[in-house]
């Protein structure tokens, strides 16, 4: 299976907790996260297609009753690539606060 490599600015992973349906839904279009989740919990429930040959996203639906799977996937190593280093914002100070410049 081929994955469409989305631009970095457009990559996302979202975790939705649907209390009324008693399930957790994870959506991602980041290739590394798709591979990690597939390795850890299996094939996705749904895949988003891009054209005829590429997949560009995947959705996993996990019921609340599957506690072991939920605790296994909700960690940084699976959802965020260990080599990922966030870029410091141009306006961010050492103390973590941002300064807004008004011109």
| Helix ranges, 14-66 (H) | 31-41
Question: Where in the sequence is the domain holding 36, given as residue range(s)?
Answer: 2-79
What the block records as the tokens of 57 is 């996203």
Q: Is residue 90 part of a domain?
A: no
Q: Is residue 92 part of a domain?
A: no
Does residue 14 belong to any structural domain of this protein? yes
pLDDT per residue rounded down to tens, the chain (103 residues): 677 777 777 788 888 999 999 999 999 888 888 888 888 888 998 887 776 777 788 999 999 999 888 888 776 666 766 666 666 656 555 565 565 555 5
Q: Is the pTM of this model over 0.85?
A: no
Q: How far is CA 11 from CA 24, 31, 36, 64, in A?
A: 20, 9, 15, 27
Number of domains in the chain: 1
28 inside domain: yes
């Amino acid at each position: 299976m081929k994955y469409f490599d989305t631009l970095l600015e457009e990559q996302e992973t979202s975790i939705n907790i649907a209390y009324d349906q008693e399930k957790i839904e994870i959506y991602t279009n980041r290739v590394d996260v798709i591979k990690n989740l597939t390795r850890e919990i299996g094939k996705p429930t749904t895949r988003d297609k891009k054209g005829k040959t590429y997949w560009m996203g995947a959705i996993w639906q996990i019921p609340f009753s599957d506690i072991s799977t939920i605790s296994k996937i909700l960690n940084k190593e699976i959802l965020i690539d260990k080599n990922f280093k966030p870029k410091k914002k141009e306006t961010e100070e050492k103390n973590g606060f941002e300064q807004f410049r008004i011109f």
